[in-house]
Amino acid sequence: MDKLYPWLTQLWQEWQTSLEAGRFSNASMLIAEPGLGSEQLVDLFSRVVMCSNYDNEACGFCHSCQLMKSGSHPDFHIVKPEKEGKAITVEQIRHCNRQAQESSQLAGTRLFIIEPAEAMNESAANALLKTLEEPSGRCMFLLVTHRANGLLPTITSRCQQWHLASPDSKTVTDWLSIEAKGEIPVYAAHLNRNAPLSTLEFVEAGKTDVYLTLEAQLLDWVKGQGDALKLAKDIVAEPDALHWLWYLLTDAQKSHFGLDMASFLPGSKPLAASVEYVALYQQTESLGHLIEQLREHSGLNGELLILDWLFKFNEETCS
């Protein structure tokens, strides 16, 4: 079998069992957080499904396998945004639907990978519904998503759902100890949702120092000693900064209840000592709403909204 990341093997074994028993749905959905390497799983699945001599794994030698290697299999289709960050359009899905109704060019399975599925706009999702309800024989759809709640409920209800769970911290630590060059802070995986690939990228890109700087700035601010404008600018400059601060605030809340874990962010105890629990809770809720607001409306002035959140945080702290 192709070598998989260790945290992917359990789900792959479940997929193999379903495929061999003929229970793998024609309409399926893989739900996975970013940074787990789900691309590796989808690639292996695609090669296995398209193999003419499939026997527990792709043979690698048949005509279908050779076409998959060259990226030219006529019955294998990947549907994704034409440009990064853009939507999957209704025209793309209608074209996909027409292909799904045609006969297989190699008398085998036709496979459609839609990724990321949450990128479909509402018209595209509605256009896909009927095809998912009544898929043609030997035609399979696999929708891959990081945010299942970003999809229409009518889409998710028509798919067999598979969840790729984040590995436990020991699995992440063991893997990183082999893959990473240098020491990995114990809290790095926690800050990256225990996603090994994201954690490795975080460390290798020097993001540990970036995070610690932001953490120190926030701690200064809640003590009335910091520069809110500079902090807001630095947060805007780092795409993941608001998520990092959300983890810091949730760890600090737990610290108020006497919890102490090695994975907690280093500033969580000092923050808990400086800010009352109720204020932390309110600011964490407010931060969660802010993150969603900025994600859904890209034209908003992020720096101004973050500055407003910081001032409210300070008001809560001083009240």
Q: pLDDT tens, 41-57? A: 999 999 999 999 877 78
Which residues make Cβ contacts (< 8 Å) with residue 155, sequence separation at least 6? 117, 120, 125, 128, 129, 132, 143
Query: Rounded mean pLDDT of 89-113?
Result: 90
pLDDT of 319 above 60: no
Query: Rounded mean pLDDT of 298-304?
Result: 89
- Give residue-wise pLDDT tens across range 261-289: 888 999 999 999 999 999 999 999 999 99
Tokens representing residue 80 in the block: 């994704």
Query: Rounded mean pLDDT of 61-72?
Result: 95
Quick one: pLDDT band at residue 199, thresholds 50, 70, 90? very high
Query: Rounded mean pLDDT of 192-196?
Result: 91
pLDDT of 138 above 90: no
Quick one: pLDDT band at residue 295, thresholds 50, 70, 90? confident
Residue 98, burial from CB neighbour count under 10 angstroms (0-12, 13-18, 19+)? exposed
Task: Give the ranges where the chain is alpha helix by DSSP (H).
Answer: 9-21, 38-50, 63-70, 90-101, 122-133, 153-156, 169-179, 188-191, 196-204, 207-222, 228-237, 241-256, 268-274, 277-296, 302-318
- Give residue-wise pLDDT tens across range 155-187: 999 999 999 998 987 788 888 888 887 778 889
**Confidence at residue 54, expressed as pLDDT on a 0 to 100 scale:** 77
**Confidence at residue 71, expressed as pLDDT on a 0 to 100 scale:** 94
Point out the least confidently predicted range of 129-143, 190-204, 208-222: 129-143
86: left (phi over 0), alpha (psi -120 to 50) or beta: beta
Mean pLDDT of the chain: 91
**Confidence at residue 251, expressed as pLDDT on a 0 to 100 scale:** 97
Tokens representing residue 60 in the block: 């690698």
Any idea which architecture 206-318 has in CATH?
Up-down Bundle (1.20)
Judge: domain 6-164, CATH 3.90.120.10: no
Task: Give the ranges where 183-301 is alpha helix by DSSP (H).
Answer: 188-191, 196-204, 207-222, 228-237, 241-256, 268-274, 277-296
CB 155 within 8 A of CB 128: yes
**Confidence at residue 182, expressed as pLDDT on a 0 to 100 scale:** 72
**Confidence at residue 283, expressed as pLDDT on a 0 to 100 scale:** 96
Query: Rounded mean pLDDT of 203-214?
Result: 94
The values of phi and psi at residue 116, to 5°, are -80, 135
Q: Identity (one letter) of the amino acid at 8?
A: L
Which sequence spans correspond to the domains of the chain?
A: 6-164, 206-318
Q: Which of 53, 51, 139 is nearest to 98 (CA)?
A: 139
